Amino acid sequence: MILGMVSDAVAQGAPETQAAALLGLSARTLQRWREQDTGDDRRLGPKSRPRNQLSEQERKLVLTTINAPRFRDLSPSQIVPRLADEGRYIGSESTVLRILRHEGQLTHRGRAKAPVRIAVEEHIATGPNQLWSWDISYLKTTVRGRFYFLYLIVDIYSRRIMSWAVHDEESGEHAAALFRATCAASQLDPKGLVFRSDNGGPMRGSTLLATLDQLGVRASFSRPGVSADNAFSEALFRTVKYRPDYPAPFDSLAQARAWVGAFVAWYNGIHRHSALRFVTPDDRHRGRDAALLAARARVYERARRRHPERWSGEIRNWTPVGAVRLGPRKPDELRESSDKEALTA
């Protein structure tokens, strides 16, 4: 029955590892069951008590100590070292946390306001012009302490740079003007589009937010201090600044704009993107990637037919990349973040 449930879940697109985890199993257990084909669930569980398990008396001592008046407002990371200073050891921080979780006491300790956990916004792009990401990055100049600012808007589905601008200041007004110009150049009605950014001042500026609201665009923001929530823009800026011909520091605003324009033309039309099966962002955005990848597959098939002895398995995967997810969060990350909050409270 379990194998049938997992097979149904995988057929619907779920990863087998996650489906097994929901049932309290590992993928290796499922593999072993399929190989044995016994039809029985032979999990027997532990036959003996672990040697390093705390006794009931020791568990009570941990709870009594943690909940004592002088410790009840402190986290385990504060309590364990203080006990060590007194020559006492009742268990490690992880042991204390495990006991607190089992007893339902793994909550915020202290009078301070509990940390606010902001849920990750998850978005899925199944085609171009559904989900855009944007950010601003510094460009060094020959004058120390002075920078130009590079604005980039990228389509997450195709990785195509939709538009760009270089200014000598950060401004929500510049960002709003760039967004309107992008939509006009693409002849696009942006209603329903998701516009992702971090929490910088220009991103939260009233001018840009009013523009997005007027156009029916949904503004989406990273969690504070989590740059990986806007990873597509961060990765693009790394590509910009690690190009062999990157000339920083720049002598003038005109030079910076000329170089960025050449970079965008190369990135969109020549650069083969590794996340897109090595087609260009323009090919992906215009829907030409399927035909290109199918042609590559035929080349590989012909090569395998000519020399089958040189191929131990299937040809390289040249199928088009499907939908792109922004901000997916794994189940184990939820538990991990909860433990970290308890440790740092």
Query: Distance between CA atoms of 315 and 306, rounded to whole angstroms?
Result: 13
Q: Mark whether 185 and 253 lie in a shared domain.
A: yes
Query: Bridge partners of 125?
Result: 324
Q: Give dist(CA 320, CA 127) in Å, integer.
A: 12
Helices 56-66 and 93-102, packing angle to 10 deg: 90
CA nearest 279: which of 288, 161, 96? 288
In a domain, 310, yes or no: yes
Q: Look up the domain containing 80 and give its range.
A: 54-111+332-345
Q: Is the peptide bond before 46 cis (omega within 30 degrees of 0)?
A: no
Residues 92 and 194 reside in one and the same domain: no
Per-residue pLDDT, 49 = 76
Asked if residue 21 and residue 61 are part of one domain, the reply reads: no
* Other beta carbons less than 10 A from residue 135's beta carbon: 23
The pLDDT value given to residue 340: 46
Task: List, for residues 204-234, the tens digit of each pLDDT value.
Answer: 999 999 999 999 999 999 887 777 788 899 9
pLDDT at 342: 43
d(CA 125, CA 128): 7
> Does 149 lie in the same domain as 63?
no
Residues of the chain with pLDDT under 70: 37-47, 109-110, 328-345
Half-sphere exposure of 211 (CA within 13 A, CB side): 21
Distances (CA, A) of 127 to 77, 234, 284, 285: 47, 21, 9, 8
Residue 166 contacts residue 157 (beta carbons within 8 Å): no
Q: What is the pLDDT of residues 131-149, one digit of tens each?
A: 999 999 999 999 999 999 9
209 within domain boundaries: yes
Same domain (yes/no): 313, 183: no
Number of domains in the chain: 4
The CATH number that applies at residue 235 is: 3.30.420.10
pLDDT score recorded for residue 334: 46
Instruction: Say yes or no: 213 and 185 in one domain.
Output: yes
pLDDT reported for residue 5 = 84
| Rg, the chain, Cα only | 27
Same domain for 192 and 68: no
Query: Are residues 209 and 263 both part of a single domain?
Result: yes
pTM of the model: 0.67
In a domain, 87, yes or no: yes
> 218-221 and 194-197 as β-strands: parallel, antiparallel, unpaired?
parallel
Is residue 326 in a domain?
no
The answer to whether residues 98 and 202 belong to one domain is: no
Asked if the structure places residue 45 within a domain, the reply is no
Residues 268 and 287 in one domain: no
H helical segments located in 216-252: 231-241
Instruction: Please indicate, yes or no, whether residues 128 and 268 belong to a single structural domain of this protein.
Output: yes
Where helices occur in 39-125 by DSSP H, the ranges are 56-66, 76-85, 93-102
- Whether 340 and 316 map to the same domain: the answer is no
